[in-house]
Amino acid sequence: MNRVLAEQVKMIFKRALIHYAKVLEKLQEDKELDFSNDLFLQDIQNNVNKINGIVDGVDSPDDGQSILDKNRKLLCCALQNYIDDLDKMKDLIKSKLQNSEPALSSFTFTNVDEEIALAKRIQTSSCIVHGF
């Protein structure tokens, strides 16, 4: 794998993991969920801590690839969630723009579309071909 591609893979996985950690942290704060048993909160926090450790390790010059390999299932799940959430947010924004007066339907998502395309390419090469 060339160096530029390797850096892109790390960048996308880090963004996906950071996004996933934020989703879990929001879950901890969700008022609709009654965590009468602290075990749930502990499990969520343990997962956040694990994710943060992986994020820190991805940039390790010695162990970055090893960390990706050891945590591929989690990384691939986080990446799928990241792609899905980018698509959902894009659709939500489009809907709001189309419902505005006047409708602003010609809005483009250049950066988001590039991120989604890159994430899907990485998903294919790093997840799907490995059975995830």
Max distance between CA atoms of the chain, in angstroms, equals: 54
The whole-angstrom separation of Cα 59 and Cα 96 is 38
The pLDDT score that the predictor gives to residue 113 is 97
- The rounded mean pLDDT for the chain is 89
The pLDDT score that the predictor gives to residue 67 is 82
Crossing angle of helices 72-98 and 3-29, rounded to 10°: 70
Query: How many other C-beta atoms are found inside a 10 Å radius of the C-beta of residue 116?
Result: 17
In contact, 58 and 13? CB cutoff 8 Å: yes
The tens digit of pLDDT for each residue in 47-103 reads 999 999 999 888 777 666 788 889 999 999 999 999 999 999 999 998 888 887 776
Domain that holds residue 55: 3-130
pLDDT band at 16 (very low <50, low <70, confident <90, very high): very high
In contact, 67 and 54? CB cutoff 8 Å: yes
* Most confident segment among 8-12, 24-28, 84-88: 84-88
Q: How many domains does the chain have?
A: 1
In contact, 48 and 20? CB cutoff 8 Å: no
Q: Stretch 20-47: mean pLDDT, rounded?
A: 88
The whole-angstrom separation of Cα 26 and Cα 87 is 19
Name the region of 2 (left: φ>0; alpha: ψ -120 to 50; beta: rest).
beta
